[in-house]
Amino acid sequence: MNAQDEPAPPAPHTHDPARGQRLALAGMLINALLAIIKLFAGLIGHSYALVADAIESMADIAGSLLIWGGLRLAARPVDEHHPYGYGKAESLAALLVSLLIIGAGIGIAVEAIREIVTPHHAPAPFTLIVLIAVVLCKEVMFRIVRRTARRSGSGAVHTDAWHHRADALTSLAAFIGIAIALIGGPGYEPADDWAALLASAVILFNGVKLLVNPVRELLDAQAGDISTRASAIALTIPGIQSIHKAAARKAGTGYWVDMHTRVDPGMTVREAHTLVHRVKDEIRRQIPQVKDVLIHVEPT
């Protein structure tokens, strides 16, 4: 017997897929503008750190596009072929963006090493002004998108937020490297390239860190806090004697809970059916992120 025979009333939640999609599109447009500015400034101003920063912004564009597509797909309603919805599209998008970040970091590191061993001109002073504007812009974007991610619980939006922070950090590293090259004078030109190498390390670190959560979600890792809370709620319902086992997994911004409950073996099928629906409804009321609860009834 399970509690999926009758639909429960929809639970309220704070997830706004449209806002996440709008932020992803806004991030894509901003990244495109910044990438063009940084690329031209880096080429004209002889700064590979700035060129590397532009490459990272181009990766951001692809990342924002992936996040936008993932959020749109994840927002689709449950259908006959996808009874659990399309929430995993968010995790898949976050995974691809993480891999994109790692790839960009490796590419920048290789080119930075090549520039370090190749003599070149010192960067132009105006590149510092460009980088200050970039850092401020990306930090603002990071804070806006992170706030939305926290409200919605979206892993994809969270990844997009840290993508902006990674870009801000690479721009800051480029600023420090160019400043050292300009202040130090002849012989300090490679400081710009060392800054690009440092930026690549930051990018790689963030990419690997962001890879963990989407992989866990795609592998249906146990959401222990949700299963523990759901079990505690179930035990408050009269008639539920104990919880044999409980599991929860995340799909997009929602959770799916499976639970084995022990009840009085003398209950009729109708009584047990009514009881588990009370449990399901109460769990969804107290934990709005839970999309559905599958309950298996066992006699004590």
What is the structure's pLDDT at 228?
A: 92
Query: CB of 49 within 8 A of CB of 189?
Result: no
What is the structure's pLDDT at 246?
A: 92
What is the structure's pLDDT at 270?
A: 92
pTM over 0.75: no
Domain at 17-218: CATH architecture: Up-down Bundle (1.20)
Distance CA 113, CA 223 (A): 42
Q: What angle do CA 71, 77, 83 make, to 5 degrees?
A: 115
What is the structure's pLDDT at 279?
A: 94
Q: Say if 17-218 and 224-299 have the same CATH topology.
A: no
Stretch (H or E) spanning 231? helix 224-234
What is the structure's pLDDT at 6?
A: 39
Site of tokens 């962001």: 210
What is the structure's pLDDT at 13?
A: 44
Distance CA 219, CA 262 (A): 28
What is the structure's pLDDT at 18?
A: 67
What is the structure's pLDDT at 229?
A: 93
C-alpha to C-alpha distances, 251 to 15, 54, 89, 210, 224, nearest whole angstrom: 13, 33, 8, 17, 14
Q: Read off the tokens for 196.
A: 């690009």
One-character DSSP codes across 238-288 = TT--EEEEEEEEEETTEEEEEEEEEE-TT--HHHHHHHHHHHHHHHHHH-T
What is the structure's pLDDT at 20?
A: 67
Query: From the CB of residue 69, how many other CB atoms can be counted at a distance below 10 Å?
Result: 17
What is the structure's pLDDT at 134?
A: 86
Stretch (H or E) spanning 293? strand 290-299
What is the structure's pLDDT at 163?
A: 72
What is the structure's pLDDT at 16?
A: 57
Domain residue ranges in the chain: 17-218, 224-299
- Give the max Cα distance, the chain: 89
What is the structure's pLDDT at 109?
A: 86
Residues of the chain predicted below pLDDT 50: 1-13
Find the helix packing angle between 269-286 and 224-234, rounded to 10°: 130
Q: Which fold has domain 224-299?
A: Alpha-Beta Plaits (3.30.70)
